[in-house]
Structure 1
Amino acid sequence: MKSRDTLLRLKRFQVDEKRRQVVQIETMIAEFERMATDLDREIRHEQDRAGIHDVAHYAYPTYAKAAMNRRDNLKRSADELVGQLTDAQDALAGAFEELKKVELLEERDGVRERTAETARDQAEMDRIGLGRSEMRAG
């Protein structure tokens, strides 16, 4: 039973670890998207300040070009993280299924033990009862 307890703790740890990974990736995606949105705002502000919105224009603001590159890199990174998030969610689902299997085995063994204990208790009570009835009869 000790090994089952250890296995149960291990499976719970694995589920918690996978859950942390999913949350971490979701947080990174949200942060990248927030940063990209901030850069969009800065790009628009810089374009409005310069009065030039055409990227191909010779006087287009250099800062706006650099901000666009950073924004595009952030969006690419967020897109890559979405793939990793899907993988992490699948791994979490698999770890959760394994945990449930071990928990069901633990529960089944617990029911079996309680049933056996109840049967032993009942047998002991029957033995005590028989012993008392024999003492009265004798």
Structure 2
Amino acid sequence: MTAWAQSLIRISNYEVETLQKRLAEITARRASAEMRLAVLDAEVEVEQERARQDADAAMLLQAYLNGWKMRKSAAQNDVAEIDAEEVGARDALTGAFEELKKFEHVAETTRLAAMIAAGKRETAAFDEMGLRCRAS
């Protein structure tokens, strides 16, 4: 394999690894954001149950629900943004894999072409030696 092909493959591998790390980080952030949503849903259920059992808590429930709706909306927006970022990262990773495979294919094709050319040169050299032996 030629030096340029090795360099391109090494660079492409680095890009793929970098994008895989980025995707893993995005996936972890999405899981965290989804966990925040689940916690918010659990908290509102607790507050609603408390309001059913306590008149003072019932009076404050509407104010709590207003704040909860804002926090939930913000968390849902975070999840949506992270999802869009994840789609972009997956697309970039797919593209990087495709580029890597192209470089590997070109390198392999170049290697095979060099082997075929070397074989042809060797065959030509043997043919020439055979002709010289006959001529002598």
Aligned-residue CA RMSD (Å): 2.7
Query: How far 1:77 sits from its partner (Å)?
Result: 0.4
8 Å CA contact 1:36, 1:71 repeated in 2: yes
Q: Percent identity of the aligned residues?
A: 28
Structure 2: any 5+ residue segments left out of the alignment? none
The amino acid of 1:7's aligned partner reads: L
State the number of aligned residues.
131
Query: How far 1:120 sits from its partner (Å)?
Result: 3.6
Q: Which structure exhibits the higher relative contact order, with contacts defined as CA atoms closer than 8 Å and separated by 6 or more residues? A: 2
Match of 1:84, SS state, is helix
Structure 1: any 5+ residue segments left out of the alignment? none
Query: How far apart, in 1, do the equivalents of 2:62 and 2:122 lie?
Result: 87
Residue of structure 2 in register with 1:117 after alignment? 118
Flag the structure with higher helix content: 2
Within 5 Å, which residues of 2 pair with 1:26-65? 26-51=27-52, 58-60=59-61, 65=66
How big is each residue's C-alpha offset from its partner over 1:18-55, in whole Å with a ceiling of 9 and x where there is no partner?
22222221221122112211221121012101228xxx
8 Å CA contact 1:8, 1:102 repeated in 2: yes
Q: Does 1:19 align with 2:20?
A: yes
Query: How far apart, in 2, do the equivalents of 1:41 and 1:114 lie?
Result: 67
The amino acid of 1:14's aligned partner reads: E
